[in-house]
Amino acid sequence: MEYALELMTNPLAWVALATLIVMEVVLGIDNLIFIAILTNKLPEKQRPIARQLGIGAALILRLALLGTIVYIARLTQPVFTVLGNEFSWRDIILVAGGLFLVWKATKEIHHRVDPEPAPDMFGGKGAAAAATAGMAMVIVQVLLLDIVFSIDSILTAIGMTKEVPIMFIAVIVAVIVMMLAATPLSDFINKNPTVVMLALGFLLMIGMVLIADGFGVHVPKGYVYAAMAFSALVEGLNLMAQRNRRKRT
């Protein structure tokens, strides 16, 4: 009780909490874009369920990782060396997650650019079976990326504060923001085809950043998110121009 009161009356703790919440929300954007793009491929009735399952899994993973914070911190310790470069489990996870993101984004871009539609990935299955299989595949892919983003998120939290209660609160608040933003973001992406391509470009860039980070080449996240914000601003101006042209015709 005394420890909780001491935290609540400490101004530095509130500053750390506010900063960490902002950081966690920003880091959650990557996760949210991936979930939005994947779930929009499902039948409309299944999309909200898949989004909530994906974001709920992200919350559970982050809280579970916080519960094993001592072991998570050890993920940064080198486990082997290749050509003078040390690799930790964190590096391996980031490289694997980055490769998966690059593969997935490239595949989605190819699917949207290719004029010939790809054959049904579920073969001769009926519509109900195909929808069920599609839902399962989406959830599995979301869970895989949840693991990567969750580890990155928790290691960032560990680097910013040593107070576990602050980490728990920041993670919970950030995931609640993700839940509130998931449907509006997914609907916006779904209604604007050009935004889908932009979002896939973001995922491609994020995947490359994860791979670079895994190989020890640190790319400041501020530059990455500034580039994303600028691209989103330009796309927003394009959308406004398109709407204005439609009104005049």
* Alpha-carbon gap, residue 235 to 215, rounded angstroms: 32
Give the least confident one: 2-11, 24-33, 147-156, 236-245.
2-11
pLDDT of residue 124: 46
pLDDT of residue 121: 43
Nearest Cα to 232, choosing from 197, 208, 187?
A: 197
Distance CA 55, CA 83 (A): 39
Residue in this structure with the two tokens 């049904």, named with its chain if needed = 120
Total domains in the chain come to 1
Amino acid at 121: M
Q: How does residue 119 score in pLDDT terms, banded at 50, 70 and 90?
A: low
CA atoms within 13 A on the CB side of 217: 7
The number of residues making up the chain comes to 249
User: Could you list the residue range(s) of the whole structural domain that residue 7 is in?
Assistant: 2-248
Residues 6+ apart with CB under 8 A from 160: 16, 19, 20, 23
Query: Residue 118 — very low, low, confident or very high, per pLDDT cuts 50/70/90?
Result: low
